[in-house]
Amino acid sequence: MKLMNVLLALFSLLLLHACDGGDGAATQVKAAADAARTGAPTAQDARNYVERYSAETREMRKEHSRLAWVHATHITDDTEWLVARATEKDLAFTSRMIEEAKRFNDVKLDADTARAINLIKLGSSMPAPNDDAKRKELAEIAQRLSSTYSKGKFCPDGPDSCQTLEQLTRLMAENRDFDQLRTAWAGWRTISPPMRSDYQRFAELTNEGAAELGYDNLGAMWRSGYDMSADEFEQEIERLWQQVKPLYDELHCHVRAKLGEVYGEDRVPQDSEIPAHLLGNMWAQNWGNIYGLIEPYQGVADLDVKSSMVEQGYSVEQMIRQAEDFYTSLGMESLPETFWDYSMFTRPRDRDVVCHPSAWPMNGDLDVRIKMCTQINEEDLATVFHELGHVYYYLAYRDLPEVYHSGAHDGFHEAIGDTVVLSMTPAFLQQIGLIDSFETDEKALINQQMKTALDRIAFFPWAKLVDQWRWDVFAGRTNPDDYNKDWWSLREQYQGVTPPVERSENDFDPGAKYHIPDNTPYTRYFLSFILQYQFHRALCEQTDFNGPLHECSVYGSAEAGERFKNMLALGQSRPWRDALEALTGSREMDASAIIDYFSPLMIWLEGENATRQCGW
């Protein structure tokens, strides 16, 4: 059989030589003969490997996605065990495929095959060591961390007093009592100390897996997935942050001053960090819920979308249909019937579920779903628009090989839905009947921009520091004895917030945020907040919109929709700069669209802060 392979390879390349008459063909003949004789891999072997990877991955997804879905929508010890076994199986598959990929390290490959193999190597955010026992241990730790978070409750006075995260989140959003907020803030963080030792071992095992792939640590591996080196990517994140930081600093200064007026400067000192429990959110990651305390011009342009939804008897399905209508207005397809049949839109009454909103590509085809515990309010309406952005991305690239079933980089996936959210302007909300009218004067504009900035601009430093902490952990710059100390050092440095109660290494506050125990990289959200404004500006240019960027909505624009769809259909088949250029005409990420969008607010904030002592 081996001799037959040699003869076939010689015969095919001799024909090639006869056709082109060149010396290069003779070299190819020799190389092919040597490869066939020695069993060395060829470029064709690599292409076959990529095809097999896509086929096997699709089959794996059919099983694991359903097990993961059942567990996320019905958390029990049994479903936890089942998904841990499925995770172990997936890790084994990934390890095996990556080991096979290493065979082609020294083979000259065409660009598409080389890209596909590199994506396979980088495809897991949780690389396991190539050892059965360690792989099983990692799968069990990962599932235990995720379940501990998802089942977490604060029970101050025994089992009958337990509060879920949704209840605590609602309290943080609506309550303004300093002490009650502090109790809720500290109470949620009682769920995470048991995760601490598991997380330390998780870091050790994933670092070992990353090292087997040739990376210094897991953080370096994550940062290598952006068509640039890990160090270059870290510098790129810092460059983008510096573009946005002046606007954040002005916002922080103004918010601190207003909170000082509400709670007293003894509780909110005007020369230091803001207590983290006063910003309307469990993690102080966005501040929109305290808009009522910060509102520049009282009662001007008060777009009470929630009250309108309640008055109109909005249902959760109606919210989702409204979001679907936006995407179809751009020329995208209607959601498949299976979406409506299989998604989880509200929290069931009879079981524990993972309420964190998420979108799911079940089979890599038309079976796409979302999972939410949706409430009738403006925030969840925007979240639905966001999650459908993921869904429409899944649908757009479903016909590509499985290895390309992802965004151009992970920030792209997160940016799609939020780009659409930027088109939810007052004029759009009036057009769909959620508000009767709106004001357009300067005071109304500043109020509208403040409300938006409290959620979006406030988010940037948080989105940067979550992975900065993990990069430091994985690199050994933060050792396990300093997990909490270094977490708060970063939060004070970037966000300018401080814990409302004393923290120590008996705590594990990073674990109180879903993405840490779930091992979801977070820099994608930072990048998405950069990209969504860049995307929005580019799409608005397609509509020949001539007004201020913050007034533009692309609802109903076939031109913008066509540009959008063309970029989505690329999936991860091309480097992200190609996809960015397809939509925006630029090959560089750029935060200048954010500054354009918020320029009226920036000028106003600079005036308000002129006599204040800013910084911390």
Which pTM was predicted?
Answer: 0.84
Which bin fits 284, alpha (ψ -120 to 50), beta or left (φ > 0)?
A: left
Structure token digits, residue 148 = 């501990």
Task: Could you please state the CATH topology (level 3) that the domain comprising 142-301+457-512 is classified under.
Answer: Neurolysin; domain 3 (1.10.1370)
Query: Which phi and psi (to 5°) does residue 59 adopt?
Result: -70, -40
Amino acid at 193: P
pLDDT digits (tens, 9 = 90+) for 245-259: 999 999 999 999 999
325 contact partners, CB below 8 Å, separation of at least 6 = 432
Token reading at 263:
């709670």
What pLDDT sits at residue 66?
92
d(C-alpha 530, C-alpha 592), whole Å? 9
Nearest to 601 by CA among 482, 463, 447, 423: 447
Bridge partners, 368 (sequence order): 361
Alpha-carbon gap, residue 601 to 594, rounded angstroms: 11
Give Cβ neighbours of residue 364 (< 8 Å, ≥ 6 apart): 58, 61, 394, 398, 402, 405
Q: Which residues in the chain come in under a pLDDT of 70?
A: 1-39
Nearest residue to 456 (alpha-carbon basis) of 354, 526, 360, 557: 526
User: CA 59 → CA 52, 96, 573, distances in Å?
Assistant: 11, 15, 20
The greatest distance separating any two alpha carbons of the chain, rounded to the nearest whole angstrom, comes to 89
Using CA atoms, how far apart are residues 387 and 370, in angstroms rounded to an integer? 7
Q: Where would I find the H helices in 491-557?
A: 523-542
CA torsion, ordered 478, 483, 489, 495, to nearest 10 deg: 110
Nearest 5°: phi and psi at 116? -60, -45
How many beta carbons lie within 10 A of that of residue 8, not counting itself? 12
Positive or negative: CA dihedral 284, 357, 184, 520: negative
Give per-residue burial for 524-559: e unless 16+ CB within 10 Å, then b.
bbbbbbbbbbbbbbbbbbbbebeeebbebbbbbbee
| Whole-angstrom distance, CA of residue 247 vs CA of residue 601 | 9
Rounded to a whole number of angstroms, the CA Rg of the chain reads: 26
Collapsing DSSP to helix, strand or coil, 369 comes out as strand
Report the first-to-last Cα separation within the chain, whole angstroms.
74
What pLDDT, in 10s, does the model give residues 487-520? Answer: 999 999 999 999 999 999 999 999 999 999 999 9
Torsion-angle region of residue 526: left (phi > 0), alpha (psi -120 to 50) or beta? alpha
Residue 18: exposed, middle, or buried by beta-carbon count in 10 A (0-12, 13-18, 19+)? exposed
Other CB atoms within 10 Å distance of the CB of residue 517: 27
pLDDT number for residue 180: 97
